[in-house]
Amino acid sequence: MRVRSGLAIAGLVALLGFSAHGARAQDASFGCKVLLCAAATAPSWSGIPYCVPVMQQLFRDLAKGRGWPSCPEGHASGLGYERYEPCPTGLTPVEPDNGDGRGAVSSTGGSYCADMSKRVRSCSGGHDGGCTEDYPMTPRPVRAEPYFVDITVSNNTQRFYFSLQGY
């Protein structure tokens, strides 16, 4: 679920304990700075000058195999990875079986989307009939930003997607 940037930032600021009379965002740990910037959606972190170097450092660290930085006051999941975009409504992720070309439903996110409501029967015409049943399949698009972290603020969870390409 996506939340509005103002709500996300305000919630994170409150969650992290920053106030007009207390600590400033610049005083936060690196992990908390990352959460504040990652939660921004309108504009995104790339439109906030303060966040650009923070997020660039994060991406360099992750590309070098370092883990997602911690923020004790924040509520973020571990680093996740989703190679493919979701299938369109009504289609199911499948992975073609080896050899026969038929799709098997994939709980881990297959590389194709299939319409499981439409069976297609095809026959090779050989002596054994050589008929198979399959579902129409289309390749799933690969995500440009396959890495993600879920950030929870005020019982709303926002998924932050990003790429490590170029870092």
Question: How do residues 19-58 score in pLDDT, each as one tens digit?
Answer: 333 445 556 789 889 888 887 778 888 899 999 999 999 9
Residue 47 sits at the vertex; the CA angle it makes with 42 and 48, to the nearest 5 degrees, is 100
- Containing 55, the helix (H) or strand (E) segment is helix 51-63
> Which pLDDT value is given to residue 142?
93
Neighbours of 19 (CB within 10 A): 10
Select the more confidently predicted residue: 6 or 53.
53
Q: Return d(Cα 36, Cα 13) in angstroms, integer.
A: 7
Q: Is 144 helix (H, G, I), strand (E, B) or coil?
A: coil
Question: How do residues 71-92 score in pLDDT, each as one tens digit?
Answer: 877 778 888 899 999 999 999 8
This prediction's pTM: 0.63
**E strand map for the chain:** 80-81, 92-96, 103-105, 112-114, 120-123, 131-134, 137-139, 147-153, 156-162
Assess whether pLDDT exceeds 80 at residue 120: no
Select the more confidently predicted residue: 97 or 13.
97
Average pLDDT over residues 140-147: 91
> Which pLDDT value is given to residue 54?
94
- pLDDT tier, 162 (very low <50, low <70, confident <90, very high otherwise): confident
Average pLDDT value over all residues in the chain: 76
